[in-house]
Amino acid sequence: MSWVPLESNPEVMNKYLENLGVPTKWQMMDVYGLDADLLATVPRPVLALLLLFPINDGYTQFCKEQDAEIKSKGQTVSDKIFYVKQKISNACGTMALIHSVANNTDQITLGDGALKKFIEESAGMDAVGRGDLLLKADAIANIHKELALTGQSEAPDATQPVNFHFVALVHVDGGLYELDGSKSFPINHGDTTPETFLEDAAVVCRKYMERDPENVNFTIVALAANN
């Protein structure tokens, strides 16, 4: 199964979240840079950071090495994390939004709708089971299809290869986690707090950029309070 890719556009994402039942108190907002002055302009609290970045051979090799290192050395992963394996091509934007919201339901009061239903039905499942359930979540798929076609750029065909990828960064149980359904597991990036989350997540984003220093095609959006 393949979906039309979602554009990294806060306006599109906010319509998407609203249709999924997320109250407008919480909005996706552009993060214009990672230095302290620009981070200070992002409204608080920030619940999640979404990074859109280009995929290349260097990134693919890094992922293989990272996966092998974690499997060898191990890592601590909180059992409170809501994690979904991605089984749908080009669905990484929706995956990042789901990971961002589902791991913050202590602060986000979801209205009745497709996302609340998905979270409740998959509560006792593992990541693979949640991925299988998302394959059958027609309501989420239909919302994705509708909103993916409303961005500023022309949407590619669902079967067309896409060389960009979304990941979500969230704070769960005192840890900073990178959630990417195409990886084997969540990635623990160390300790964080609600107060330092944005700055700590910015460090992870900066490392992505440092691994591909000649590329400027990085986009960051934050799920933050709509003050």
Write out the catalytic residue numbers.
92, 165
Alpha-carbon gap, residue 68 to 155, rounded angstroms: 35
Q: Do you find a cis peptide bond into 213, omega within 30 degrees of 0?
A: no
Angle between helices 138-148 and 92-102 (to 10 degrees): 120
* Partner residues linked to 222 by β-bridges: 29, 49
Distances (CA, A) of 106 to 102, 103, 171, 178, 193: 9, 8, 12, 19, 15
Alpha carbon 164 to its chain's center = 13
Residue 18: enclosing H or E segment and its boundaries? Answer: helix 10-20
**8 Å CB contact between 173 and 20:** no
* Torsion angle of the four alpha carbons 73, 79, 85, 91, in this order, in degrees rounded to the nearest 10: -110
